[in-house]
Each structure stands twice: as C-alpha cells, then as structure tokens.
Amino acid sequence: MPSGKPAQSELLISARNVHKTYRLGRILVPVLHGVDLDVKAGEWVAVLGASGSGKSTLLHILGSLDRPDEQDGKRGTVSFHGQDVHQQSAWVQNEYRNGKVGFVFQFYHLLPEMTVAENTALAAMIRLGRFGYQKHHHEIREAANTLLDAFGLGDRLDHRPAELSGGERQRVAIARALMNEPEILLADEPTGNLDSVTGGQILDVVARTHSERGLAIVMVTHDQTVADRADRIVSLESGRIV
C-alpha cells in the first residue's frame, strides 16, 4: 500500500475540450462547454460551483461513468497516464473505473441488505468477479476490516447502513472507495448531506487519506469552506472553467 505523499509533478489525469449536452424530451440542455482540467499525482483539486454548473457531469466523465460529446467533429478527451480513457476497450474502461478510480457520492449508495464490512468489500467483489472473490475472500475481508478500523468503525462491521449515522455511512463509502487502492478519488459533494460538524469530520478523514496514501482527489462542491481544504481550487460556472 502506498505511503507518503508523492511529489506533485507527474500529470495523472487530463481533460481536454470536454463538452456535454443532455436531451430532455425535445429540449437540448448544454451542461459542459469545452472544459480543460489537469490533475497531478497526489494533488487534491476542488471544483467549486453552484448547483447546475456541471460539476457532477464533469466528475462522471473523468471517472468514465459518462462520455464527452463530439463538438465540431471532435470528441473531448480524458487521459489517464497519457492514455485516452474513452478510446479504450470496454474491459480496460471497467478496470479503470474499478481499479484506478474510487468514487464517493453525496448519498452514500450503500446496499441496505449488506453489512458494513460487506459494503466495503463490494468494490473488490466487483473487480475480481465471483470466483476471484471466493478465492481471496479472507484477504478481502481482512483488508475491509482494516480500513473500517482505521476509520473508527471497527465495532460496526456487522451493522447494516440503517443502523449508522450519516457520518458513519459516509466513512463506510470512503472505505469502499479505497478497497482497490485507487490512484484517484472522485468525490461528489461528500459532505452535502451532513451537518457542518459531521462534514468537517469527514473532510478530516479525506485529508488524512490524502496525506497518508498520496492519493489524488477531485472533489466537487458548492461550499467554499469545503473547497478551501484542497491544494487547489478550480471554479466552474455555467459549464466553463473560470
């Protein structure tokens, strides 16, 4: 497991000329207008913008959950270690989403029927498949338990999400995002569903993870206080970097 924060020199992920328009019935809704963004290895970047500015759409495209549109016959690019993610095979894109990127969302997206430990191990289960998971079950469970213990949830392993507070659920979601030891964490308003005190505690967890693991982070938020925790702030207004 990586330790220590790397020198912020290597370009990890780079978005160029990213456009996105959604169709709602007969109406076209432009969301992103030629966005460029670079993130270096080990860098924490906050994308600050109001609701509707395109923050979540940008995050989804960076994580290959969505694709950029063509504009004037050219499609925008998202390069990871110099390789255009959206030009890769489906298998390579799946490996990127499951192994290189960790996702954290505002509403946790924990499975209610699974325990805390099972939810945390889910990312590894998806990446390895049924047989791979069965073969490495004990190692995966031990890794999940270790992460949860580090996040102060060692006594919640067999609890279900409904038995947790909002802050505890978000810590489980962060642990799940780290299961496959990603190189970059994409966080979509991770404190937006929490009160200020609990949100501050979650940001402390993120900051500690950033420092100890040398993990790159792109966090989108509408809150200046949250953005101020990052190494660098990028403002997004009406689908454009300003």
Instruction: Flag whether pLDDT at 4 surpasses 50.
Output: no
3-state SS record for 175-213: HHHHCCCCCEEEEECCCCCCCHHHHHHHHHHHHHHHHHH
Domain membership of residue 3 (yes or no) is no
What b/e sequence results for 173-190 when a residue is b if at least 16 CB atoms lie within 10 Å of its CB, and e otherwise? bbbbbbbbebbbbbbbbb
Domain membership of residue 5 (yes or no) is no
Domain membership of residue 29 (yes or no) is yes
Distance CA 174, CA 177 (A): 5
Q: Angle at CA 219, nearest 5°, toward 231 and 15?
A: 90
Kindly state the tokens that stand for 69: 């549109």
Domain membership of residue 106 (yes or no) is yes
pLDDT reported for residue 114:
96
> Which band of pLDDT confidence, cut at 50, 70 and 90, is reported for residue 127?
confident
Distance CA 66, CA 19 (A): 11
CATH number at residue 127: 3.40.50.300
pLDDT reported for residue 2:
40
Domain membership of residue 233 (yes or no) is yes
Number of domains in the chain: 1
Instruction: Flag whether pLDDT at 106 surpasses 90.
Output: no
pLDDT tens-place string over residues 138-179: 999 999 999 999 999 999 999 999 999 999 999 999 999 999
Instruction: Residue 176: name the closest of 60, 83, 98 by CA.
Output: 98
The residues, any chain, with a CB within 8 Å of residue 201's CB and separated by 6 or more, are 167
Domain membership of residue 113 (yes or no) is yes
Helices (H), 17-115: 55-62, 90-95
The answer to whether residues 178 and 94 touch, using CB atoms and an 8 Å cutoff, is no
Range of the domain at 44: 11-241
Domain membership of residue 1 (yes or no) is no
Instruction: Flag whether pLDDT at 1 surpasses 60.
Output: no
181: left (phi over 0), alpha (psi -120 to 50) or beta: left
pLDDT reported for residue 187:
96
Kindly state the average pLDDT of the residues 25-29: 92
Q: What is the mean pLDDT of the chain?
A: 91
pLDDT reported for residue 21:
95
